[in-house]
Amino acid sequence: MFNLKTFLDSNLGKLFVYKKNKDYEFSLPIACDFEEDSIVNNNVPYELELDPSFKKVGTKLSDNLDYIKAKYHILINSDIQIKEFNILLEDKSYSAFIIYIDGMVNSEIINDFILRPLMLRNKTNTHDRKKDKESKLSSFSLEDYIINCLIPQNRILKKEEFNDIILEVNGGNCALFIDTLGVAFTAEVKGFKQRSISTPSNEVVVRGSQEAFVESIRTNTSILRRVINNEDLIIENSYVGKFSHTAVSICYLKNITNNDLVAEVQYRINNLDIDYLISSGQLEQLIQDNSHSIFPQIVATERVDKTASHLLEGRVVVLVNGTPYALVMPGVFNDFLSSSEDLNLKSQYSNLIRIIRILSAFLSVLLPGIYVAVTSYHHELIPTQLLFAIAATRESVPFPIIIETLIMETAFELIREGGLRVPSPIGPTIGIVGALILGEAAVSANIVSPILIIIVAITALCSFTIPDLSLNFTFRILRFVYIFLGFTAGFLGLALGLFAQLVWLCNLTSFGSPYLTPYLSKATLRTTSSLFVAPAWKRENKPTFLNSKKADSQGKISMRWKYPKSH
Amino acid sequence: MRNTIAVLLIITVCLFSLTGCYDARSIETLSYAIAIGIDEGETNMLKLTVQFVNPSSMGSNKGGSTSSSEPTTITSVECASLDSGINIMNSFISRQINLSQCRIIVFSETIAEKGISEYLYTLTDNIEIRPNCNIVVSTCSAEEFLQNSEPASETLLGKYYDSIVNANKYTGSTDDIELSDFFTAYKDTFREPYAVLAGINSPDTPMEYQDASKSTIDSGYVADKSSVLNDTFMQSIGIAVFRSDKLVGELNVGETISHLLLSNRLHQCHITVPSPFSENGIIDLRIIPTMDSKKEVTLVNNTPYITCEVFLSGEILSSTKGINFTENSNIDLVESYVDAYMEQQISEYLYKTSKDFKSDIIGFGSKVVGNYLTTEDWVNSNWLDNYQNSFFDVTVVSDIKVGETFSKID
Amino acid sequence: MENSKMGVIEAVFFVLAVITNKIILNFPKEIVLWSGNSAWLNVIYISIIVGVLAIIVCNLFSKFGGYDILDISHYLGGNFLKIALGTILIVIPLFNSIDLVRDFSEDLKLIYFNTSPLIFISLFFVIAAIIANKAGFTAIFKTCTIIMPIVMISIVVILFSHLKNFEIERLLPIFGNGVNETFISGLSNISVHSGFLFLFFLMPFLKNTEKYKKIGIIAWILSSLYLLLSVLSLLLVFASSTVTKEPLSLYLIVRTIEYGTFFQRVDALFILLWILSTMTYLSVLMFMALYIFKKIFNTEDRKVLASCFGMLILALSLIPENTVILTTIQETFFKYYFLITIFILCPIILYLASRKKKKELQNNKPITKNIPII
């Protein structure tokens, strides 16, 4: 019997009741939940058990193999390669394995210079034990034999600690484990792809080297060595980050750089409790003197020649693996206003540029603020004709000056950021569209006055002349501060801002050097880091604030050919 | 860090709520006065006339159509004082009046004769008014003066007012007297103030020379009675002489040149002297002072005896036909003639100031002041009253040169 | 810690901050009001007297290398004298700063901020001083070294801009308002050199204490020169009776400066510089007050006290109903207070202390270990 009631009960609900599809939801469990999960995860078969007490290489190969496999999560990690094989030595055969990371090594080297000599039995490889006996060697050492005779490699190291071995393997080398030996060997077989040295893209100069740093730290140190070309150049290595073990090189000239400066840099870098370090930008923030300051206190540059000349002055350079930027410390205010080209050009030319840069630094910070202050409070400062011209253009603008200025400045910042973030083919177009069309349209729509467009454009131009990216940001922030101060109390507000900024700058130090150094101290002009550039034959002294071990950098008379008798 | 942000926030909020930006005055909300005229009032103490600029008329001419609005607006009120006048104007002009761009302050002759010290104090005490705006005494009423001052070649009125006074740098027709100069001279114990004399000239006003005997010489003009035959226009020629704060007389162009020469304020000027060679001929000269004039004052029985020495160099600009200027004797003749002429001019001017006006506008008093030890003694000696008893001795040393271009033409 | 000590140039500008601000604010006006056309003579006269005093003080001080006047008074008369002298001296920077804040704010109010409340304008100065004092001494003297030269150059620029209007005759009659006003009662104008007070406290802050004498003399020469120049520039351009009515002494001159027909009113730019210089001066004064306070009460942290002192100065400066009261107090009481404390009391204490030291040396006694180590 067809039971209507039951039919309706069972199906009507489905027919007329709307049931929402359940949305897919995913949320990360918070940390304490995660711990419980991880206990569960430990039971998953592909996680191998790790013996935490196992720190040194054992004599039993299988133990080592198990440890390495567990350490590298070999079951889920795809690019870790472990190759097991046997070494044939005379009549004996030792089992062994090598571990390397695929893609980071040059497999030809591994094949030709590690596996081939170990695995193939040939004349050159055979060990003549009688000869050993004749030379009265007390005992045969397999370790030495392998290092000395078997592997034709320039850099082969004996390691006992697993941590060291793992560091080497992570860096692109391979590790060789042999049964019965309590040590492992690591060999230099790096062969990963990296960017080749190219021209500097962000610090462009006309007269000067066209070499820039790359991501690989070894390449960078090699370029530095090539330029400095002196055995006193010390490149100390250090690792930062408990997790990432990022290689950091501290470079300085042993006979020039102040010992305390080097020690301070080492002290700061070695006392960082961080998990990982990706770029030198992060390191810069971690080791600068005043953490809250908006002024950059360490020079970051991609130019090799600039880095080298700073090194030769007696500064310390820090290279971070993975970043094509070198950090130069200490960095004082003047360094951020100077370009590496300044030293290459004739002093007259570069001083002209210096003056323009100092002027534009002032303008890029203060111009909009001054405009707001003058047009709101100090009308009499504007010459009559100009005043009427400004008044006429402001007639039809509905906004008060402060709003107008903020609109335009914000628009400009938008254009700038927009142009930077879009894919490069459209980048320039954004700039043109933004600057030309927006400006023109804003003026004809009576949203802003043409004078303000000029002000904003000049400010923008000025800020582009600042060679350093960080200082540029500083000025962009300060510009808005000054606009507000100028609006609040005219020149009184600006004066407060200037005074506070000056006090701030005076109080800043960078690795013990006062930030405003060449401006305040009696520093001689005859250095490479003075306020104005001295001619090439007058750069006799090292910058005084560095307190270098060597006070002079050239003879009193550098051009001996001209004054041969006077020395 | 959180603390810093909180402090910053509080400061920002305070600053903005405290001010409401009390004194921020946007440019376009103000009405800029370019000239102030002060007349005697009919019903009240004074009549204040202010000339405003319409910025829209001088801004960019958008779309090619030149705006039809007048470049300036002139408003007059009857009021008791300057400040109350400005206040009254503020009530019916939509924008706040700002005096910071004011270029000239015009006093009418009638009010200047009664004394202007009260207004002077108000004007100098006003922070907005620039101390370098010119003080002008107009021969007509100030209102009429401002209404008729329309620039001929300048589009910007402010510039126009500047340029008419600056013209004295090459005409020597008046002096660039600013408010601060005038006020300092007024407060000084050894000099009297003077102002720019200006007037409205129209073809209707008759040409009139002050001295009929020298009818061929152009230096007799005074403001509003000169020989320009064009439209109505404003002209600044001559100097208005004050004694203390009261107008006592006017100087014509010739006398102004003498005054500028003596007070070392002349840049260059043109003079016309009767020719020594022919009866009705004239010679045009450009004269430039070569050295500062030497002035000495000696008190003989408390009567000032004043000697002046003036050094000129002159250049003959044109000459009448048939005179050979390549000959030294001719030039010497002209030189002596010019010396005598200028000496006469300057003495006439000096006696006019001392005997007619009794006003030491050059400041001979400064030469006497060293004879006294304290300010009290000096003030008691009453130099400014004593000046009228002065005797003058003027020497002019001129050095005449001839332009090469016509010296060779016979 | 080499950076936290002053070299010669820094120390000179530190002392000059006082005189420069006195010049900007009201001193030339007051002195011209006092002695009329002979103000320049008065300035030379008091400068010579101060110069003699400066040389004597420098000589006496050089025997106590590294110690300031409070340490020396402690050496001479123990804790009692130190605290008494400290209390007397702390009044000077405090009153000066109150006077400065009130006076300059009133002037600014008159010139630019007609409708703003006074506290709003004063607040800017006090905030600046607090920021500087929180940043510490190094920042203050370095800021001085940057701002003071600019301000001093601006004063010279002002003078040269008026060169064409100079009239030598305005310096006459030579004795101005009278011999008495110039030389006898005019002696009280010496209080303008109250920057002299800083010389008594400079010692511990110097890199090289042997340069103390040099600093004192350079500071004296420069401040006298500037004083003379400023008074001269006022006198040479204006009738002495005109001078007295402007809010800021030099504002009168600045207002009339014009560079060509285009830049006709640049006074706002000079005002900007002067505001900066006033802020520096206020920071210096506040630092002085805090330093003396710290010495009297043996407190450690100056920076915490900065806000308290700032607010104290702000509050006190707002108490008088108008500046006339403040000026009257200054003219009738503090002028003489400065004169007596700085130029009579302190040198006497120095002299007595040096005699005590001499005696102890003659008697071959070990020098009393009363001087606390800083």
For the cut 60, the answer to whether the pLDDT of residue B282 exceeds it is yes
Is there a contact between C264 and B18 if contact means CB atoms under 8 Å apart?
Answer: no
Q: Which of B22, B180, B376 sits opposite C113 (nearest CB)?
A: B22
pLDDT at residue B209, as a whole number: 44
Is there a contact between A488 and B16 if contact means CB atoms under 8 Å apart?
Answer: yes
d(C-alpha A166, C-alpha A177), whole Å? 12
Q: Which residue of C has its CA nearest to B22?
A: C116
Q: How confident is the model at residue B62 (pLDDT cuts 50, 70, 90)?
A: very low
Q: Which residue of C has its CA nearest to A491?
A: C272
Partners of B138 in the β-ladder: B108, B198
For the cut 60, the answer to whether the pLDDT of residue B229 exceeds it is no
For the cut 90, the answer to whether the pLDDT of residue A367 exceeds it is yes
Q: Is B362 helix (H, G, I), strand (E, B) or coil?
A: coil
Question: Considering only CB atoms, which residues of chain A are within 8 Å of chain C?
Answer: 374, 377-378, 380-381, 383-384, 489-496, 498-500, 502-504, 506-507, 509, 514, 516, 519-520, 522
Final residue belonging to a domain, choices B251, B286, B311: B251
Report residue B227: phi and psi, to 5°. -100, 20
| Average pLDDT of the residues in B243-261 | 82
pLDDT at residue B34, as a whole number: 84
**Mean pLDDT across chain C:** 81
> Mind giving me the DSSP string for C18-50?
HHHHHHHHTHHHHHHHHHGGGHHHHHHHHHHHH
**Mean pLDDT across chain A:** 83
Split into its structural domains, chain C has a count of: 1
Q: For B3-26, b where at least 16 C-beta lie within 10 A, e where not — what string?
A: eeeeeeeeeeeebeebbebebbbb
Percent of chain C with pLDDT over 70: 91
Residues B244 and B159 in one domain: yes
Is there a contact between A375 and B27 if contact means CB atoms under 8 Å apart?
Answer: yes
Is there a contact between A392 and B103 if contact means CB atoms under 8 Å apart?
Answer: no
Give the lowest-confidence range in B62-71, C161-170, C296-305.
B62-71
Is there a contact between C110 and B127 if contact means CB atoms under 8 Å apart?
Answer: yes
pLDDT at residue C139, as a whole number: 87
Partners of B37 in the β-ladder: B49, B106
pLDDT at residue A474, as a whole number: 92
Domain ranges within chain A, ordered by starting residue:
61-187, 217-331, 346-514
pLDDT at residue B330, as a whole number: 77
Residues B182 and B326 in one domain: no
Report residue A24: phi and psi, to 5°. -75, 125
Element (H, E) at A41: helix A31-41
For the cut 60, the answer to whether the pLDDT of residue C166 exceeds it is yes
Q: Which of A384, A401, A487 sits opposite B101 (nearest CB)?
A: A384
Chain C contacts of A330, Cβ < 8 Å?
none
Q: For B158-193, b where at least 16 C-beta lie within 10 A, e where not — what string?
A: bbbbbebbeebeebbbbbebbbbbbbbbbbbbbbbb
Q: Are C137 and C4 in contact (CB under 8 A)?
A: yes
pLDDT at residue B323, as a whole number: 67
For residue A338, how many other CB atoms are within 10 A of its CB? 22
Q: What angle do CA C190, C348, C46 make, to 5 degrees?
A: 15
Residues B278 and B235 in one domain: no
- Does residue C371 sit within a domain? no
| Average pLDDT of the residues in A228-246 | 89
Percent of chain A with pLDDT over 70: 90
For the cut 60, the answer to whether the pLDDT of residue A365 exceeds it is yes
- Does residue B95 sit within a domain? yes
C222-256 per-position pLDDT tens digit: 888 888 888 888 888 777 666 666 667 778 778 87
Residues B108 and B131 in one domain: yes
Radius of gyration of chain A (CA): 33
More confident residue, C371 or A527: A527
pLDDT at residue C338, as a whole number: 82
pLDDT at residue A444, as a whole number: 85
d(C-alpha B280, C-alpha A368), whole Å? 67
Is there a contact between A384 and B156 if contact means CB atoms under 8 Å apart?
Answer: yes
Give the lowest-confidence range in A44-48, A114-118, A166-170.
A44-48
Contacts of C100 (CB under 8 A, 6+ apart): C21, C25, C125, C278, C281, C282, C285
Q: How confident is the model at residue C137 (pLDDT cuts 50, 70, 90)?
A: confident
Nearest-CA distance C352 → chain A (Å): 38
Residues B55 and B87 in one domain: yes
Which stretch, B168-172, C126-130, C361-365, has highest mean pLDDT?
C126-130
Is there a contact between A381 and C132 if contact means CB atoms under 8 Å apart?
Answer: no
Residue with tokens 């003959």: B316
Q: Note the Cα A285 to chain centre separation in Å.
A: 11
For the cut 90, the answer to whether the pLDDT of residue C27 exceeds it is no
- Does residue B16 sit within a domain? no
pLDDT at residue A202, as a whole number: 82
Q: How confident is the model at residue A251 (pLDDT cuts 50, 70, 90)?
A: very high
d(C-alpha C361, C-alpha A226), whole Å? 66
pLDDT at residue B410, as a whole number: 46
Chain B contacts of A403, Cβ < 8 Å?
none
Chain B contacts of A487, Cβ < 8 Å?
21, 24
Q: Which of A489, A509, A522 sits opposite C124 (nearest CB)?
A: A489
Which stretch, A427-441, B117-131, B373-387, has highest mean pLDDT?
B117-131
pLDDT at residue C262, as a whole number: 67
d(C-alpha A169, C-alpha A167), whole Å? 5
Per-residue tokens: B380: 């008691």
Side-chain half-sphere exposure of B348, counting CA atoms within 13 A: 15
pLDDT at residue A268, as a whole number: 92
Give the lowest-confidence range in B31-40, B289-298, B311-320.
B311-320
Give the lowest-confidence range in A251-255, B162-166, B217-221, B333-337.
B217-221
Nearest to A495 by CA among A360, A357, A402, A373: A373
Q: Are B392 and B362 in contact (CB under 8 A)?
A: no
Chain A contacts of C145, Cβ < 8 Å?
520
Q: Which domain holds residue C347?
A: 2-362
Which CATH number is C344's domain given? 1.20.1740.10
| Average pLDDT of the residues in A491-510 | 90
d(C-alpha B53, C-alpha B33), whole Å? 7
For the cut 80, the answer to whether the pLDDT of residue A308 exceeds it is yes
Q: Which of B24, B27, B128 sits opposite A390 (nearest CB)?
A: B27
Final residue belonging to a domain, choices B251, B271, B291: B251
pLDDT at residue B102, as a whole number: 84
- Does residue C373 sit within a domain? no
- Does residue B18 sit within a domain? no
Nearest to A391 by CA among B177, C339, B54, C144: B54
Q: How confident is the model at residue A250 (pLDDT cuts 50, 70, 90)?
A: very high
Other chains touching A, judged by 3 or more CB pairs under 8 Å: B, C
A532-566 per-position pLDDT tens digit: 888 888 888 888 888 888 878 888 888 888 888 76
d(C-alpha A409, C-alpha A456), whole Å? 7
pLDDT at residue B243, as a whole number: 82
Q: How confident is the model at residue A319 (pLDDT cuts 50, 70, 90)?
A: very high
Q: Which of C169, C258, C261 sits opposite B369 (nearest CB)?
A: C169
Chain A contacts of C7, Cβ < 8 Å?
522
Which stretch, A66-80, A353-367, C205-219, has highest mean pLDDT?
A353-367
Q: Is A151 helix (H, G, I), strand (E, B) or coil?
A: coil
Other chains touching C, judged by 3 or more CB pairs under 8 Å: A, B
Q: How confident is the model at residue A47 (pLDDT cuts 50, 70, 90)?
A: low
Q: For A244-259, b where at least 16 C-beta lie within 10 A, e where not — what string?
A: bbbbbbbbbbeebbbe
pLDDT at residue A520, as a whole number: 64
Is there a contact between A395 and B60 if contact means CB atoms under 8 Å apart?
Answer: no
Tell whether B23 lies on the interface with C, counting CB pairs under 8 A: yes
> Mind giving me the DSSP string for A340-378?
THHHHS-HHHHHHHHHHHHHHHHHHHHHHHHHHHHHHT-
Q: How confident is the model at residue B228 (pLDDT cuts 50, 70, 90)?
A: low
Split into its structural domains, chain B has a count of: 2
pLDDT at residue B197, as a whole number: 82
| Average pLDDT of the residues in C170-193 | 73
Q: Which domain holds residue B228?
A: 28-59+68-251
- Does residue C80 sit within a domain? yes
More confident residue, A26 or B66: A26
For the cut 80, the answer to whether the pLDDT of residue C64 exceeds it is no
Q: How confident is the model at residue A126 (pLDDT cuts 50, 70, 90)?
A: low
Size of interface A-B (CB pairs under 8 A): 82
Nearest-CA distance B192 → chain A (Å): 30
| Average pLDDT of the residues in A461-479 | 89
Contacts of A140 (CB under 8 A, 6+ apart): A129, A132
Tell whether C139 lies on the interface with A, counting CB pairs under 8 A: yes
